[in-house]
Amino acid sequence: MPSSGKIEIFYTAFREISNVIHSSTRADEVLELIVWKVTETLAAKGALLRILNLETERFELNAAYGLSDAYLSKGPVTRQSIITEVYKQKSYVIIEDVLKDPRIQYPREAYQEGIRMVLDLPLVFRDNIAGLLRVYFPESRPFEEDELDFAVALAQQCACAIDKARLIEEQQARYNQLALHTEKLSALGRMAAGIAHEINNPLAGVLLYSSNLSKKIPDDSPLKEGMEIIIRETQRCKIIIQELLEFARDREPKKAKADIHPIIDRAVSMLENEFRLRRIDLQKSYSKKIHTCMLDENQLQQVFVNLLLNAAHAIDQQGTIEIRTRVDPAGHRMFIEVQDDGCGIPPENLNKIFEPFFSTKKNGSGLGLAVSYGIVQNHRGELTVESQPDKGTCFTITLPMRQ
């Protein structure tokens, strides 16, 4: 029967370690506390903690207490030499003879260190071995049940701390990668804006002079067609540069109380001739539950024009575009859907369509959807897409009703 004093010592040590595990994001701080506390509580000579390196499959030293530098300088332990079926079946292993047991990798050095007995505690998390906590004793001794229970519980806490540290490292690596990618895009945007400004002025001059020359060239002249091509392509370049500048500017929306339906109607009216030429039937289904909310009318009109143009180009000749609006049951969000029965988007392109400069159109700049995505995000909304080849595409804009 364990004494109340010993139970109190175990409880205090366990509580200190648990507090550090939950409050600290530094794994080394937790592991150093564990080897110190397990040595002190079990009256051991020292302890060390090795963590499994997932790349090399070796147990590398991460924390130690009470052992000399000469002993600790030994290299990492291989997985095969320590973890056997015994470790997988039991929660602890007691090694009573360090000179004869094959699980001691450096028996002579261990004996010279004054080690006579070892308690091994595999660190297991979700049935995977994360490391090994090894406690060294200067002489053979029996263990009470409460001592072993304390050591096993400590090993389980240690495994949780290692798993938490690995999760933090993975999240930090992802964050660093995302930050680097964002910085590259930001630099690209600044560079593109600078280049666009530099090109815009010469293009304006080319367009002005070519338009004047075109007026002076007789209609039957062979130069007339070439000059019209110059004017048309120059105008296309100016449109691309304008879109590039719009993308790089990323303006904050100037919100005011507005109804989403008149904004959609204005975008539709701008494209009526386009729909008529392509023989596109436009259908609208508006929800009566949508009320006025804070929106930038000009920016959202730009989004609807872009989505409707994309739908028209996907249909090409004769088809249907449907615009639907609805509200979620709680009345917190509105949904605007623009659906067409056109050619659809190949699955491999679905994750790319919102990327800058990605376009499947012959003369597309690849900036329309990227700009639209940014505008919706600045309204604290989402722009998503669902599509199937040869069956059509549906873009959904989700916007908050209350801001």
SS (H, E, C) 181-204: HHHHHHHHHHHHHHHHHHHHHHHH
315, amino acid identity: I
Q: Is the pLDDT of residue 282 over 80?
A: yes
DSSP annotation of 252 reads: P
From 191, 318, 205, 288, select the one nearest 247 (Cα to Cα). Answer: 191
Rg over CA atoms, the chain: 35
Determine the average pLDDT of the residues in 203-213. 84
CA–chain centroid gap for 46, Å, is: 42
pLDDT of res. 85: 46
Strands 280-285 and 319-327: parallel
Q: Is the pLDDT of residue 327 over 60?
A: yes
Share of the chain above pLDDT 90, in %: 15
Q: How far is CA 248 from CA 208, 251, 264, 374, 386, in A?
A: 26, 9, 25, 10, 27
SS3 category, 166: helix
pLDDT of res. 20: 66
**Into which CATH architecture does domain 4-173 fall?**
2-Layer Sandwich (3.30)
Position with higher pLDDT, 122 vs 85: 122
User: pTM of the prediction?
Assistant: 0.46
Domain ranges of the chain: 4-173, 184-249, 256-400
How far is the C-alpha of 384 from the C-alpha of 307, rounded, in Å? 12
How far is the C-alpha of 118 from the C-alpha of 112, rounded, in Å? 14
pLDDT of res. 86: 45
Q: Is the pLDDT of residue 164 over 60?
A: yes
Q: 61-75, 129-143, 273-287: which has the minimum mean pLDDT?
A: 61-75
Burial 112-148 (b: 16+ CB within 10 A, else e): ebebbbbbbbbbbbeeebbbbbbbbbeeeeeeeeebb
Position with higher pLDDT, 34 vs 309: 309
170: exposed, middle or buried (C-beta count within 10 Å: 0-12, 13-18, 19+)?
A: exposed
Do residues 244 and 196 make contact, with C-beta atoms less than 8 angstroms apart? yes
223, amino acid identity: L
Instruction: State whether CATH 2.60.40 applies to domain 184-249.
Output: no
Determine the average pLDDT of the residues in 121-141. 82
Burial 344-370 (b: 16+ CB within 10 A, else e): bbeeeeeeebbebeebeeeebbbbbbb
- For residue 321, name the pLDDT band (cuts at 50, 70, 90): very high
- For residue 368, name the pLDDT band (cuts at 50, 70, 90): confident
Do residues 393 and 342 make contact, with C-beta atoms less than 8 angstroms apart? yes
The predicted-structure confidence for 93-104, as pLDDT tens digits, reads as follows 888 888 888 878
pLDDT of res. 401: 83
Question: From start to end of 66-206, where are the E strands?
Answer: 77-78, 93-95, 117-125, 128-137
pLDDT of res. 95: 87
pLDDT of res. 1: 44
Domain 256-400 carries which CATH code?
3.30.565.10
Query: Average per-residue pLDDT in the chain?
Result: 80
